[in-house]
Amino acid sequence: MMNFAIIDVETTGGSLRDTKITEIALLIHDGEKIIDEYQTLVNPECDIPPFITRLTGINQKMVQNAPKFYEIAKTIVELTVNCIFVAHNVAFDYKVIRQEFSRLGYDYRREHLCTVRTARYALPGHVSYSLGKLSDDLGIEINGRHRAGGDALATSELFALMYEKLNGDLSSFIQKELNPKLLHPGLDLAQIESLPSKPGVYYFYDVDEQLIYIGKSKNIKSRVVQHLKNNRSKKAVLLRESIAKVDVMETGSELIALLLESEQIKKHRPKFNRRLVKNKCVYGLYSFEDGKGYLNLYIDRTMKKNSLPLLSFERRDEAVRYLEKQVEKYRLCKKLTGLYPSKYGCFDQQIGVCKGACIGDENPELYNARIQRFLEKIQFENDCFFLIDIGRKKGEISLVLVEYGVYKGFGYVSAKSAENLVEDWLSNIEYKPEDRDAKQIIQAAIRKANYKQIRSFSLDF
């Protein structure tokens, strides 16, 4: 039967990297009751700030003769072996303990579970999920708030409630840890821990420093860790075992990450990457003029076509939903957009919503004019503009440049330069070669409003 190590620590405060433990409480729980426990003050071997003493009540004199962390490390390891590490906001307690072990040269890893995340699912409807307020709502008494023993005991009572509520099935809330034995021995796990949790592009290299995979993510660290845990296919396992080095490039903007990933895959052609278009642009929106002079729109698989689609979509249902909105906005015919296949008129024509293009009642020129307004909006063939988004750091914005409908590149400028001349922004662009996939990526970004602002301009300055 699986056991759970419910843990709470008090610390000296400050950054996660520098903080030291001043007290730890550890309760071994079998899901129904506490079966073992351990609690002690810890000498942090550094000063405890006054504000921490005011919060926790732990002062320098109290920890003066307490054991140092290295003296209790073995006990923690032995008590938590084969246990799930549990804490309220587990990211904090788990990170602090791993950091203390890291200073001793030991890589402490346990599968872990966050009672905050679990409570939001198992006990919905509470205004706050902080330990204090949630305990008040549930009638759990905390004897010693902001002390390790009191908080750990309250967490154990909360955990027992959720365990019963979920019939002991906590599998979907347990976060797996990286297993060094399943990874390449040359991979630096400390570097993986320090990866940014921000948008960007990541690069995997093998032991011979050959680039083997390129990817993008809104959260680089999370996505890289997913790769390192992936065992869903032979290819995924082979990639995981081949990764000996990871490089990253933060982009700030998710749109720039998409554009950079597309460019870099085509430039380097890593052996583990599939063809980009095949993965991301499965369906497209196309047009043709029928024998009666009406412009028709339809959705089809891009792999069936040699021509570029007007717009690209990852899924058919996404394409259908988008087209339905345009039919309503521009008062288009559902039959002539492929949404209502029929030998006769569409249903909307029967109820007076469609103007009758499907049965020849509406003049083709009038109908086509509405189609053209829609096409002009999505094609941006004659437009020059910047797509503006967040930058890589505070005080910076990102720019994606499009000139006369062609993607030109991206760059970064100070957020204070928002009113600067176009020439200044253009001088900060890293120009890229013309790319058919980039246009589809930008079209999708505009369709989904995946940017902060758009700024049009004229090159006639």
Specify the CATH number for the domain of residue 83.
Answer: 3.30.420.10
* Run means of pLDDT, 10 residues per run, the chain, 461 residues: 93 90 97 95 96 95 97 97 96 95 93 96 95 95 91 96 94 89 92 93 97 97 94 93 97 96 94 64 90 96 83 90 94 95 87 91 95 86 88 95 92 80 89 84 88 85 53
Residues 103 and 31 in one domain: yes
Residues 130 and 27 in one domain: yes
Task: Measure CA 63 to chain center.
Answer: 41
Residues 249 and 348 in one domain: no
Residues 228 and 360 in one domain: no
Determine the length of the chain: 461
Q: Quote the CA–CA distance of 165 and 129 in Å, as a whole number.
A: 17
CA proximity to 315, closest of 280, 340, 287? 280
User: pLDDT tens for residues 347-368?
Assistant: 888 888 899 999 999 999 999 9
DSSP one-letter string for 349-405: HHTTSS-SGGGT-S-HHHHHHHHHHHHHHHH-TT-EEEEEEE-SSTTEEEEEEEETT
On whether residue 49 sits in a domain, the answer given is yes
Q: What is the pLDDT of residue 417?
A: 74
Q: What is the pLDDT of residue 314?
A: 84
Burial tier of 438 (Cβ tally within 10 Å: 0-12, 13-18, 19+): buried
In order of 401, 405, 407, 415, the CA distances from 381 in angstroms are: 13, 4, 11, 28
Q: Quote the CA–CA distance of 114 and 90 in Å, as a whole number.
A: 5
Burial tier of 30 (Cβ tally within 10 Å: 0-12, 13-18, 19+): middle
Long-range CB pairs of 421-428 (<8 Å, 24+ gap) are 421/461, 422/457, 422/461, 423/461, 425/386, 425/399, 425/401, 426/401, 428/399
On whether residue 351 sits in a domain, the answer given is yes
Residues 159 and 51 in one domain: yes
In what order do the strands lie in the sheet containing 21-29?
A: 34-41, 21-29, 3-11, 83-87, 112-114, 174-175
Residues 48 and 171 in one domain: yes
Q: What is the pLDDT of residue 388?
A: 95
3-class secondary structure, 439: helix
- Cβ proximity of 87 and 8 under 8 Å: yes
Q: What is the pLDDT of residue 383?
A: 82
On whether residue 41 sits in a domain, the answer given is yes
Q: Quote the CA–CA distance of 393 and 250 in Å, as a whole number.
A: 10
Residues 60 and 135 in one domain: yes
Residues 26 and 131 in one domain: yes
Q: What is the pLDDT of residue 460?
A: 66
Q: What is the pLDDT of residue 110?
A: 94
Q: What is the pLDDT of residue 420?
A: 63
Measured in degrees and rounded to the nearest 5, phi and psi for residue 228 equal: -75, -10
- Cα-based torsion angle of the residue sequence 80, 82, 84, 86 in order, rounded to the nearest 10 degrees: -10
Q: Quote the CA–CA distance of 49 and 69 in Å, as a whole number.
A: 19
- Cα-based torsion angle of the residue sequence 411, 414, 420, 421 in order, rounded to the nearest 10 degrees: -20
- Cβ proximity of 432 and 263 under 8 Å: yes
On whether residue 363 sits in a domain, the answer given is yes
On whether residue 461 sits in a domain, the answer given is no
DSSP one-letter string for 252-290: SSHHHHHHHHHHHHHHH--TTPPPHHHHH--EEEEEEE-
On whether residue 377 sits in a domain, the answer given is no
Q: How many CB atoms lie within 10 A of CB 179?
A: 11
Burial tier of 405 (Cβ tally within 10 Å: 0-12, 13-18, 19+): middle
Boundary (domain end) residue, out of 318, 340, 372: 372
Q: What is the pLDDT of residue 144?
A: 83
Residues 165 and 187 in one domain: no
Domains contained in the chain, number: 4
Q: What is the pLDDT of residue 327?
A: 94
- Domain holding 447, by residue range, is 384-456
> Residue holding tokens 């246990």?
83
User: pLDDT tens for residues 91-105?
Assistant: 999 999 999 999 999
Residues 24 and 98 in one domain: yes
- Cβ proximity of 432 and 407 under 8 Å: yes
